[in-house]
Structure 1
Amino acid sequence: MTMTKDPLGQDALLAEASRWFAALDAGTARAEDFEAWRRSNPAHAVAYARIVANWEGMRAVPIVDEAPLRASRRQWLKVAAVGVPVAMLGSGFMAQRAYAWDSASTGVGETRRVPLPDGSVAYLNTDSALSWRYRDDERLLRLDRGEVALDLRRGGATVLRANAASLPLAPGLFDARVTAGQAELTMVDGAAMPIPGPLPGGAGGLMLKPNVSMIVAEQGTPRLQARSSEQVASLMAWRAGEIVFLDQSVAEAAAEFNRHLTRKITVGNADLAREKIGGRFDLDRPDQFLKAVSLSLSARVVTTPDGYELTR
């Protein structure tokens, strides 16, 4: 009879747990996906607890001059996968410690001011989520959805992760926004700074300046786009509870307003959707926008079960 060295598959299980640990630490795994894996089998939770406990134990080992310890987390994970016996710790608690990310979010129609550990401030726009991890040797921000204004003028250099991009930021004032397949970063205030590669698409050596946006698509080369002062002011108007349109189509304006509304605005005519409109409106007063479209573009406003329809 042939005896295998790992009849219960523990090595493979610990290796899988190690990969989850590394992905969570890097911010490349979704917490809900990890929790589904961990809860699907008690052995998963036990294996993950062993990995985290081993790592915590390694971090606690004192460094002596005669034999300095320089093992990286990646190197340690290779060792951890062989399964050194350790005392089992509560997997839920240890999983939270392994994430090492704090987070804040807003619902539709809500904004929020979030102080960050180094004195910087993040302002979350409607339906947005931001995570951060601050340690002695790193400051990481991750925009998981929506839009955030980042006042980093009191803090130090920070790395922002948005979709597939990882962008180093110097002290300054920025607006960042993610949509499906695209991230957009605008410098509002600060000194010009280089954006080193690699970025998606292989670009590097770009220079970000005030009133300039960097647009990073999941596919294609990142590009810079200059903004007027009025465009940047309108971009940041939500901080004051307002929404500003500068000669935008009715369809674009309605879509932008809908980010803040639970009762949505639809446009029932293609010709009306292409019409241009401008103006300044309160975020919590869609009736102002509807009235402006009605009066200036001869449109009718129809109340529907889900919101409002603009039509002719």
Structure 2
Amino acid sequence: MRKLVAAVLLAPFAIGFLSPGAAVEPPAPDPVFHFTDPEITESSGLVARDGLVVTMNDSGDGNRVFTVDPATGDTVGVTRWQGDATDIEALAPAGRGEVWVGDIGDNAGSRDHVEVARVPFGRGDREVHAPTYRLVYPDGPHDAETLLADPATGRLYVVAKEFIGRLYAAPEHLDPDGPNRLTAVDEVLGIATDGTFTPDGKHLVLRNYGQAAIYTWPGLQRVAQVDLPRQQQGEGLAISESGEVLVGSEGAAAEVLRVDLPLEGASASPSEQVEEDGERAPVRAEEQRSWWPWALGGVAGVVMIGVLLRSLRPRD
């Protein structure tokens, strides 16, 4: 009963935070390819670089990433590396010919640390020894499916997959002996399943199962939120060097779609700051949200509490 009451009390906050601040016409889906490899059944992350697409399976798979030719959907290379995966959930660009792989899933909230590895990708199969780093949250374990890499600084960020999403920053320089302690930055899109920076580093885009949110960087002002095309279980998002936006899904032979997001019209936040050495620094900024989602959430919460109390009333 305590859990039910807690869920009811949280409902207005969840509704208010997950609702879009401004309505934007949903982008039309444009299928690019589907995965032909029967080994790719739970694509949970995407990176689009060097004319190729990189993906991996999430929880239950081993330490491997697939390099896919988007012209055919065929796997053209598989990279494997040392160790045993716990719950790989995310990818991020790591420079030419490399990706960051995030072993950051934690559905049970029981891991004392999560890990990221820097792994090469490309045509041809290979086995490598990948540099691996331990990350530790400042406030206890979190489940996460989103790993971000700032193209200007290379700094990594993790987004906790919760009703109110939380962005955490890794240290500027990762210590291979660790642990590397994450720092809380700000609140972002809830239930995020993937995300990426734009190639110029001026914005970041997060997605959940049905929506994408666009933020200025480093101001973290949300400038757009749009519905995404329906997919079986949308968990992938990538932006190529040319700005092409791709979204993917779990499932055998899942399609990867091209979508047009309002990135060019997104203006820079007035609260963005630049450090003296020229590197961008994360700056907390309150998102400008409409009042109506919170009102809707409040009404829903009152109604739900009323129904709950009525159900608990003794009956004659």
TM-score, normalization: structure 2? 0.30
Structure in which a larger fraction of residues adopt helix: 1
Q: Which has the larger radius of gyration?
A: 1
Structure showing greater relative contact order (alpha-carbon pairs closer than 8 Å, 6 or more residues apart) = 2
TM-score, normalization: structure 1? 0.30
